[in-house]
Structure 1
Amino acid sequence: MTDLLKTLKDIVGDAHVLAEGDLTAWEQDWRKRSRGKALAVVRPRTTQEVADVVRACAAAGTSIVPQGGNTGLVGGSVPDESGTQVLLSLTRMNTVRNIDPANLTITVEAGCVLQSLQDTAQEAGFLFPLSLAAEGSCTIGGNLSTNAGGTQVLRYGNTRDLCLGLEVVTAQGEIWEGLSGLRKDNTGYDLRDLFIGSEGTLGIITAATMKLYPLPAATLTAWAAVPSLEDAVKLLGLAQKHLASSLTGFEVMGQFALSLVAKHFTQMRIPLYKDVPYCVLLENADSESELHARTQFERLLETALEEGCVTDAVVAENLAQAHQLWHIRESIPLAQAEEGLNIKHDISVAVSRIPQYCRETDALLAQEIPGVRMVNFGHLGDGNLHYNVQAPVGGDAAQFLRDYEERVNTIVYDQVHKHGGSISAEHGVGSIKVDKVPNYKSPVAVEMMRAVKRALDPRGTLNPGRVVRL
């Protein structure tokens, strides 16, 4: 391995091959559930350096784990415990290469932080709509590798839908230059979509051309109290009817999830949550004016109140109030972490089936674990829930995980499968779910995935043991 380290230093420079000292920032995942040991952390600055690193590692028979901001939740971007893998950090590749106003595109390198991309687009007079709680530290390469979703999928789609082109280093160290930014290119297989969501197992994304949108004339946020999940689904239908494509966000939050925010972030004022099982956060991005947006919102909420699917609601009066409401929603994962270790799920079910799914699964978990607490929240507008499970009050959280994690996952995933859903909506598969996928995905689909992996990475150099096992 000494020869490989020397070669890697020759490629990226001595200062950017880290093999000693505290490497926790790269070797431990955000949840602190996975901790590995890297042979070295390698930090290239150019696509050519990435290609040279891949070739060197392939020649040495050393596998590579690509990493962006290391904000993933499924253990997909940290090394294993062998001490033999190279951790390839792309954070130095953070340049905005080009903005094309006429084509409504922006081309950025994979290590560009999402918030920097958002800010650059806004400064140029455009909107880049991908929005996540981790946007201050996650990178666009990581977003693409997991096909991240976030809070505006309802209007703009997942990261896949926002991407028009990629630059990728293959497992053989070749560079695919596919950054054209074309909206129509029907010359064979869609290689772009193949790499998006593959979690670095088929190739290493080094740059991307992303869609831009005109800035909305006005963006308004409302918070509504709803008597049940059925009523939340009914409110969604009304919102889609009244707001059409102006509806950019529709988030549901369970009462217990909001109570954790109130408990652990006492400075936050959370409206309307104490007397209802769920609250909904809606966003209306209007292309006409604030008056038009507010009129639409008021008509929607009046109708919802008349039909009984909303018991009370507030509309943010200004941008600061809107940010406060969104901050409450984004603080739920942090509040849950403060409450103690928990079992996280990122599931998708058809919107129409979510109330029945939750009712049945809540009952099964309560029967299995008396006193269990459900932290249920997420993107109801696109059928994606973060259906998380917290230990009973006063219990040993670590022991709870040891005793129940496997059983809880089985219950949750079996129910997802029963209702025709997916066990991973926006977080990816990583190492945490890789052995679950064959249980809940068609054997034909799994074998096709294996065939793609064998074709593009026959030596298993790129992020082995993630997404699919050979």
Structure 2
Amino acid sequence: MPDTMDQKHADFLNDCVKVLGASHVMLGDDELAAPYRQDWTGYHSGTPLAIVRPKSTDEVAQIVALCHAFGVSIVPSSGRTGLCGGGVSLPDDKSLILSLERMNTIRNLDLDGRSMTLEAGVILQNAQECAAENDLVFPLTFGAQGSAMIGGALSTNAGGSNVVKYGTTRESCIGIEAVLPDGSIINALTGLRKDNTGYDLKNLLIGAEGTLGIITAAVFKLAAMPQARTTGFLSLAALADAPRVLNALQDRTGGAVEAFEYMPDVAIDVICHAFPNTKRPLEAPAKTGIFFEVGSNRKDDAQPGEEGETRLQDLVFATLAELMEDEVVVDAMIAQSEQQRIDLWTMRESILESITENGPAYFLDISLPLAVIHDFVAEMDVKMAELGFQPITVGHLGDGNLHYTLSAAKGKNWDELPLEAAKDYAFEVLSRLNGSFSAEHGIGQSKLDVMLKLKEPSQLDAMRLIKQALDPQNLMNPGKFIPV
């Protein structure tokens, strides 16, 4: 170990090497450690004491026990695709980054119970592909699925594009294995759908961003693979009509809507600028654009009718025809091939990268009751334009989650815009409309000030008591999730 390191940390790291081997312990300032020092956004960075990469739950427990004994704080790390700085150390904190990337085994696939047991380092796309090979659906899907890992999804209670049908990560998880701050292990991987034998520690740890323990494995529910899908893009007369369209599709198809995404023309323009080969779904710009997908696992819905369309397509066409007659839907495009479906999904999943390439931006990850989303967007768009911002909004409209992003309006200098005033106004409107300032990306470091300002004090006090009870030394991801 370097001569500049104090004896306590040198002894600690030597003990870590005894557990994991030298090849899986690297110093925080090592060149190979660079990817662990900064989050995806580039806004949050720090130089940790070291990075360790355990391969098993037992190794995680031994490392955590060492941290407990030496008083070294821990930052759990998975795919490092987060946007709030939750998976990197604070600039002035010599924490240990504990990466779960080597814990990447699919431990069990229960076809009878339709569940899958995964270690925390399993990449989301790998879980999806394993389920699909067995004609099943792994319920989580979002843009970073090619690199995001199960541990991070559990840590932030991630959402995604199909929450409207399958729910969030918490709703899909039916069992966990975790290591608590003292190094003890919770083994609750039974996958039971009913188990009322005490406090629900599973749901306490999910979404806690590693502040109460480290989830090392989990059991997820699987769903039947859709036998038929209908995917398309709509132009609505007004955003206020979106709930009616969603409910009409749900009612006609028996709740088969898998995705219902808000993609107005401003967002489409940004995507097309970043990816010029993107095909616009409609000829005319759609001020209120909706990308949707309906998927049914009923074999009857996959049967072709006289005109060749499946029964599911007929149900969707009939619904859209009625909505067009009522002048709620202005225009519609329905994918006629799997490639057209893939193109629509690619367009949707390109938005974050497109906004990032567009220039500096501030991302609001919020949720609202469906009935007032149009009120929020209408009021915010006017005010943000007055302040010199160009909003770029997309969202998982089916579950009320908006990604309302602020960028500089044409001709404006981002550094000269009143961002704090814009944020204050946004959170005031959000609170007035009973919304949430964090829907699916978590709190991390970036939302602590908002958390302190907007979260009910009694709820913060309860969170602090839970944290103190389970992690009295404040070693688990300090400086994240719970504001001081």
TM-score bracket, normalised by the shorter chain, equals: over 0.9
User: 2:398 — aligned with what?
Assistant: 381
8 Å CA contact 1:165, 1:181 repeated in 2: yes
Q: CA deviation at 1:313?
A: 0.5
Aligned partners of 1:186 and 1:151: how far apart in 2? 31
User: 1:393 — aligned with what?
Assistant: 410
User: Are positions 1:428 and 2:442 aligned together?
Assistant: yes
Q: CA deviation at 1:124?
A: 2.1
Aligned partners of 1:12 and 1:269: how far apart in 2? 50
8 Å CA contact 1:145, 1:195 repeated in 2: yes
8 Å CA contact 1:170, 1:202 repeated in 2: yes
Aligned partners of 1:15 and 1:197: how far apart in 2? 31
Aligned partners of 1:364 and 1:466: how far apart in 2? 31
Look up the SS of the partner of 1:37 in the other structure. coil
Alignment of 1:70-469 (within 5 A): 70-82=80-92, 84-272=94-282, 274-287=284-297, 288=299, 289-290=301-302, 291-367=310-386, 369-370=387-388, 372-397=389-414, 399-400=415-416, 403-469=417-483
Supply the RMSD in Å over aligned alpha carbons.
1.3
8 Å CA contact 2:323, 2:329 repeated in 1: yes
Gaps of 5+ in 1: none
Aligned partners of 2:223 and 2:482: how far apart in 1? 35
Aligned partners of 1:395 and 1:360: how far apart in 2? 21
8 Å CA contact 1:38, 1:84 repeated in 2: yes
Please give the per-residue CA displacement for 1:289-343, whole angstroms capped at 9, x wherever unaligned: 3312111111111112111111110111121110100111111111111111100
Look up the SS of the partner of 1:346 in the other structure. strand
Q: CA deviation at 1:22?
A: 4.0
Tell me the number of residue pairs that the alignment of Structure 1 and Structure 2 aligns: 465
Farther off after superposition, 438-447 or 34-43: 438-447
Aligned partners of 2:229 and 2:24: how far apart in 1? 43
Aligned partners of 1:361 and 1:32: how far apart in 2? 27
Q: CA deviation at 1:244?
A: 2.8
Aligned partners of 1:365 and 1:453: how far apart in 2? 38
Residue identity in the other structure for 2:246: L
8 Å CA contact 1:258, 1:273 repeated in 2: no
User: 1:4 — aligned with what?
Assistant: 12
8 Å CA contact 1:365, 1:411 repeated in 2: no
Q: CA deviation at 1:151?
A: 0.6
Aligned partners of 1:2 and 1:228: how far apart in 2? 63
Q: CA deviation at 1:273?
A: 6.6
Alpha-carbon distance change, 256 to 177 in structure 1, aligned in 2, over 3 angstroms: same
8 Å CA contact 1:96, 1:107 repeated in 2: yes
Residue identity in the other structure for 2:421: R
8 Å CA contact 1:255, 1:274 repeated in 2: no
8 Å CA contact 2:259, 2:293 repeated in 1: yes
8 Å CA contact 1:225, 1:273 repeated in 2: no
Aligned partners of 2:148 and 2:476: how far apart in 1? 20
User: 1:14 — aligned with what?
Assistant: 22
Give the TM-score taking structure 2 as reference length.
0.94
Aligned partners of 1:447 and 1:362: how far apart in 2? 35
8 Å CA contact 1:450, 1:469 repeated in 2: no
Please give the per-residue CA displacement for 1:179-228, whole angstroms capped at 9, x wherever unaligned: 11000011121111000000000010000000011111112211111122
Residue identity in the other structure for 1:297: V
Please give the per-residue CA displacement for 1:262-293, whole angstroms capped at 9, x wherever unaligned: 11111011122743312101111112333121
Q: CA deviation at 1:64?
A: 0.4
Alpha-carbon distance change, 36 to 404 in structure 1, aligned in 2, over 3 angstroms: farther
Aligned partners of 1:468 and 1:458: how far apart in 2? 14
Aligned partners of 2:319 and 2:21: how far apart in 1? 59
Aligned partners of 2:381 and 2:113: how far apart in 1? 48
Residue identity in the other structure for 2:226: P
Look up the SS of the partner of 1:173 in the other structure. coil
Residue identity in the other structure for 1:363: V
Q: CA deviation at 1:465?
A: 1.1
Aligned partners of 1:215 and 1:239: how far apart in 2? 19
Q: CA deviation at 1:441?
A: 1.6
Residue identity in the other structure for 1:316: A
Alpha-carbon distance change, 273 to 61 in structure 1, aligned in 2, over 3 angstroms: farther
Look up the SS of the partner of 1:446 in the other structure. helix
8 Å CA contact 1:286, 1:292 repeated in 2: no
Residue identity in the other structure for 1:101: L
Look up the SS of the partner of 2:346 in the other structure. helix
Farther off after superposition, 82-91 or 109-118: 82-91
Of residues 23, 28, 44, the one that matches 2:54 is 44
8 Å CA contact 1:154, 1:248 repeated in 2: yes
8 Å CA contact 2:385, 2:409 repeated in 1: no
